[in-house]
Chain A
Amino acid sequence: MAGRPLVALLGPQPHGERQVGALLAELGIRGPVALITAGWQEYELEDRALRRHLRVPSYNLELHARSEAVFAADPELSEAHKARQTLLRQIQNFYRVRLEAADDAAKAIAVRHVDPALLRAELAVSIDVFRHLDRDHVERCSQVHAEYVARVRPHARPEVARHRAEVARLIGESEAIVIGGGHVASLLSRLHLFGVPALLTQNVDRPIVAWSAGAMALTDRVVCFHDFPPYGKDVAQVLERGLGLAPGVVAMPDPRNRVRLDDAEGIARFARRMAPDRCFGLDEGSILRFAKVPAEIAAETGTDGWAKRRAQSMGSPVAITETQQEMAAYTGPALPEPPASPEPAADDPGSPPEMARISGQALHLGLDGTVNEGWSR
């Protein structure tokens, strides 16, 4: 298993997910493969074409259907879940209002006729405003999740626990895990409800192949973006923490239809806002492979490492409780103050991110606003 790519992020799979099947074959996977299509919501089980293209035995973990069953059987949990979703939606709205104001200010400042050195300094301040808003938003969402877990203890509720045990068994029996696209918030919610983040790091020798929303869910932060919404314009926004199994990157599926790739200034601003994470556009055919040794990923970026560091930061003993483990799956380690935004110096795609080595074809969005195709290392 050593040296075998463990986490692969792919772009959209509009033609029957053939790339996924080819990748599994390349990895020598013969099945069974555990399939997660919870992002498709009610259409979760319309997976016949996908499973045919995987070309190996597979089974769907049915996380969306399981969640419907759990909420039907546990109305108290259902109400608590809805209340949390309402609160998160409201927080996201307020964060978006602040982002729009910050975006308007950044654009107004960018066209001022002043000394270039002063303008550069002011643009750096503009980026820092975004970075602080992003960080604070992630922390606020993490607090909402942590409070929910501590109060409601979903993991301990009988129906949830029963499904969790089944999901754990199914993942344990699989040779690889495949996570599809769809509604990224819905996907993340179901992954957490059934304890999948911990299972993915506990079963570290199993490759994970994910595309689009699935790819986004595996990163440190899930960033939602669309430069061409029907209402004219939108500002990219951080949704919440991801699972942290694809560290150091911002996954951006379908960039050619969602990103103004000819807007060098906008791209530079975005790339600097997300730094030190690198922004990768994942078109159809793109693939980012993380070839890190499995134990190192789990220890440094997975739930175990996060839980321990969070517990330590809260003054708890290192032997953490199940609830703390659960909270940590949402919250991750306490985020440091963001460093000053990087200057748009010459981009250096040759330096790998600290946590993992990345190779593969994808659109790399540089700090200087350039978009490099087929970047690889």
Chain B
Amino acid sequence: MTARTVQALIDGPHTPEAVQAFVAANTFPVVDGPEMTFVYQGAADSVHLRHWVYGLPSSQALKRIKGTDLWHYSLKLPPKSRVEYKFEVHHHGRRDWVGDALNPHRATDPFGANSVAHAEGYTVPDWTRPDPSVPKGTIEHGISIDSAVFGDRRSYSVYLPTRYRATRIYPLLVVHDGHDYLRFAALGTVLDTLIARSEIPNLIVVFTSSANRIGEYAADPRHAAFIVDELLPDVERRYPIRAEPQARCLMGASFGAVAALSTAWHRPGVFGRLLLQSGSFAFTDIGDGSPRGPAFEPVVNFMNQFRAQPTPVSDRVFMSCGIYESLIYENRSFAPLLQSTGMDVRFVEARDGHNWENWRDRLREGLSWLFPGPLLMIYQ
């Protein structure tokens, strides 16, 4: 069913004035209860909606409103859904993927930007938005370290909270794809805001990235050695970090989550906290190889090995996954397996996909559950 305002345009006069009035009067996509109507305006031979909602056809044809340059397509989305999309426009033999010019909401990632649709009930969390009244931590970039494990020189960045004192000791969070988390998931703003609200404690955050993440993050034992034998001691030399595992967390999304889990598996007892978002936890119940391709083979080998003999590699694990991701099956089946080892596991699903703003939107619950702030202790 099409949104009422769109249907009114379809049924009514198709004059340029009517079209202009319609565009001026609406925000796009048009949300009418559970109905979301996507609208493209422009000359085209055909227009398709391209999204990444697993479970729906990934390409859906828009229909043109006769006599206008408007195209529309409606689908039902459950409340609080968040969907990234583009339009595939065919015109004069060209095929282009373009953002929705009528929708100002964009989400960026390492590959560019997508348009963002918010279903009824979804709001961008206020704690992800910069607030000038919130004191800011500092981020030091370009801290260099020689890696004997990889035979090269690497660098990482460090976040220090605004109330950092060298005389105190702090919990540690190590973030895989850390620089992407800063750019695309507003992690710096989130840390500042949650600390200011006392929802997480003052903590030190290390942002690490890899130029070969598909290789190194795919359960490579060298990565675990780099994190535990090289990066961690270097951080300990420079900053006052609490020694107990309960005060140390590894975090990552997608392959980054595999890297975090496999590091904890290779070196149990070092990191007592894991934050695993949309983990690429591909496995096979039978047969060789993964339908997801050769890059996943080391991941599948690791996950099959772990699943065959699950062990408590950490104390407390926060997992999240989007319901609209293809990885939802792997994550749903992995959470109870982790719980069965005795680890304290919280698994959260969201009506979203495999993207940075999904991961951003789960950070408050994840970080505050793994590292509860002094909120419980503060009574003003």
Say which residue of A93, A181, A226, A232 sits within 8 Å of B365 (CB atoms).
Answer: A232
Q: How far is the CA of A237 from the CA of B376 in the complex (A)?
A: 9
The contact of B368 among A39, A42, A230, by CB within 8 Å, is A230
Contact A184 B377 (CB under 8 A): yes
Cβ contacts under 8 Å, B364 to chain A: 230
Query: From residue 275 to 325 of chain A, which have CB atoms closer than 8 A to chain B?
Result: none
In the assembled complex, the CB of B198 is this many whole angstroms from the nearest CB of chain A, namely 9
Q: Which residues of B contact A253 (CB under 8 A)?
A: 379
User: Within the complex, what minimum Cβ distance (angstroms) separates B286 from chain A?
Assistant: 36
Q: Is B230 located at the chain interface by the 8 A CB criterion?
A: no
Nearest-CB distance from A154 to chain B (Å)? Answer: 18
- Asked whether A212 lies within 8 Å of B244 as measured between CB atoms, the reply is no
Check A234 against B379 for contact (C-beta < 8 Å): no
User: Main SS of chain B's interface residues?
Assistant: mixed
Least Cβ–Cβ distance between A197 and chain B, in angstroms: 19
Q: Does B339 contact A (CB under 8 A)?
A: no
A254 contacts chain B at the CB level, 8 A cutoff? yes
| Chain B neighbourhood of A212, CB < 8 A | 379-380
Given contacts A71-B167, A93-B246, A97-B344, are A183 and B377 in contact (CB under 8 A)?
A: yes
* B242: Cβ under 8 A from any A Cβ: yes
| Chain B residues with CB under 8 A of A183 | 374, 377-378
- Chain B contributes a number of interface residues (CB within 8 A of A) equal to 23
For A35-61 the 0/1 string (1 means CB < 8 A from B) is 000010010000000000000000000
The reply to whether B199 and A213 form a contact with Cβ atoms under 8 Å apart is no
Q: Which residues, 168 to 221 on A, are CB-close (under 8 Å) to B?
A: 181-186, 212-213, 216
Does residue B375 face the partner (Cβ distance < 8 Å to A)?
Answer: yes
Q: Is A230 a contact partner of B169 (Cβ separation < 8 A)?
A: no
Contact assessment for B246 and A90 in the assembled complex, using a CB-CB cutoff below 8 Å: yes
Chain B nearest Cβ from A65, distance in angstroms: 13
Within 126-174 of A, Cβ neighbours of B (below 8 Å) are at none
Asked if B372 is at the interface (CB within 8 A of a chain A CB), the reply is yes
Cα–Cα distance between A42 and B167 once the two chains are bound (Å): 13
Cβ A224 vs Cβ B167 within 8 A: no
Cα distance A279–B368 when bound, in Å?
A: 27
Q: Quick one: given A72-B167, A82-B169, are A254 and B369 in contact (CB under 8 Å)? A: no
Distance, CA A213 to CA B368, complexed state (A):
22
Q: In the complex the two chains form, what is the Cα distance from A183 to B378 in whole Å?
A: 4
| Docked-complex contact B167 and A231, CB < 8 angstroms | no
Contact with A229, one of B242, B244, B368, B380 (Cβ below 8 angstroms): B368
Residues from chain A with Cβ under 8 Å of B167 in the complex: 68, 71-72, 78
The answer to whether residues A224 and B163 also contact, given A90-B244, A229-B368, A230-B364 and a CB cut-off of 8 A, is no
Tell me if A86 is interfacial: C-beta within 8 Å of chain B. Answer: yes
Closest to A226 in B: B376
| A42-B163 contact given A97-B344, A229-B368, A230-B368, CB 8 Å threshold | yes
CB of A182 within 8 A of CB of B379, answer: yes
In contact, B376 and A229 (Cβ under 8 angstroms): yes
Measured in the bound complex, the distance between the Cα atoms of B364 and A128 in whole Å is 34
- Distance in angstroms between the alpha carbons of A72 and B244 in the assembled complex: 23
Residue of B nearest to A78 (CB): B167
- Whether A184 contacts B379 in the complex (CB less than 8 A), given A42-B163, A231-B365, A231-B369, comes out as yes
Q: In the complex, A259 Cα to B379 Cα: how many Å?
A: 13
Of all chain A residues, the one with the shortest Cβ separation from B242 is A86
B246 contacts across to A, CB distance below 8 A = 90, 93
Number of A residues, CB within 8 Å of B: 34
How far apart sit A86 and B170, CA to CA, in the bound complex (Å)? 11
Complex Cα–Cα for A212 and B380 (A) = 6
CB <8 Å contact, A226 and B375: yes
Q: Does A336 contact B (CB under 8 A)?
A: no
Query: Bound state CA distance, A82 and B194, in angstroms?
Result: 24
Contacts A72-B167, A231-B365 given: A86-B372 contact, CB under 8 Å? no
Known contacts A90-B246, A97-B344; A229/B372 CB under 8 A: yes
Of the residues B197, B244, B376, contact of A224 by C-beta under 8 Å: B376
Task: Tell me the bound Cα distance from A213 to B169 in angstroms.
Answer: 24
Q: Give the chain A neighbours of B378 by CB distance below 8 A.
A: 181-184, 213
Complex: A323 Cα to B61 Cα, angstroms:
81
Q: Which residues of B contact A239 (CB under 8 A)?
A: 377
Contacting A at CB under 8 A, from B135-173, are 163, 167, 169
Known: A42-B163, A229-B368, A230-B368. A254 touches B375 (CB 8 A): no
- Chain B nearest CB from A10 CB (Å) reads 11
* Complex contacts, B374 vs chain A, CB 8 Å: 183
Residues of chain B contacted by A116 (CB below 8 angstroms): none
Q: How far is the CA of A224 from the CA of B198 in the complex (A)?
A: 15
Find the B residue at minimum CB distance from A212: B379
Alpha-carbon distance between A78 and B375 when the two chains are bound, in angstroms: 25
Task: Write the chain A residue with the least CB distance to B194.
Answer: A230
Q: Mark A65-94, 1 if CB is under 8 A from B, else 0.
A: 000100110000010001000100010010
Taking CB atoms and an 8 Å cut-off, the chain B residues in 186-222 that contact chain A are 194, 197, 199
Contacts of B377 in A (CB 8 A): 183-186, 224, 239
Contact A213 B379 (CB under 8 A): yes
Q: Mark B353-370, 1 if CB is under 8 A from A, else 0.
A: 000000000001100110
CB distance from B156 to the nearest CB of A (A): 26
| Cβ-defined contact, B344 with A12, below 8 A | no
In the assembled complex, the CB of A89 is this many whole angstroms from the nearest CB of chain B, namely 8
Tell me which residues across on chain A come within 8 A of B163, comparing CB atoms. 42
| A201 to B: closest C-beta gap in Å | 23
Contact of A216 with B365 in the complex, beta carbons under 8 Å? no
Which A residues are in CB contact (< 8 Å) with B197? 230
Nearest CB in chain A: distance from B124 CB, A: 16
* B344: A residues at CB distance < 8 A: 97
A-B contact pairs, 19 of them (CB 8 A): A39-B379, A68-B167, A78-B167, A90-B244, A90-B246, A93-B246, A97-B344, A182-B379, A183-B378, A216-B379, A229-B368, A229-B372, A229-B375, A231-B346, A231-B365, A231-B369, A231-B372, A234-B372, A253-B379
Closest 9 pairs between A and B when the two form their complex, measured CB to CB: A231-B369, A212-B379, A230-B368, A213-B379, A253-B379, A181-B380, A230-B199, A231-B368, A224-B376
Known pairs A39-B379, A231-B365 / 5 extra A-B pairs, C-beta < 8 Å:
A78-B167, A213-B378, A230-B194, A230-B368, A230-B375
Chain A residues within CB distance 8 Å of chain B: 12, 14, 39, 42, 68, 71-72, 78, 82, 86, 90, 93, 97, 181-186, 212-213, 216, 224-226, 229-232, 234, 237, 239, 253-254
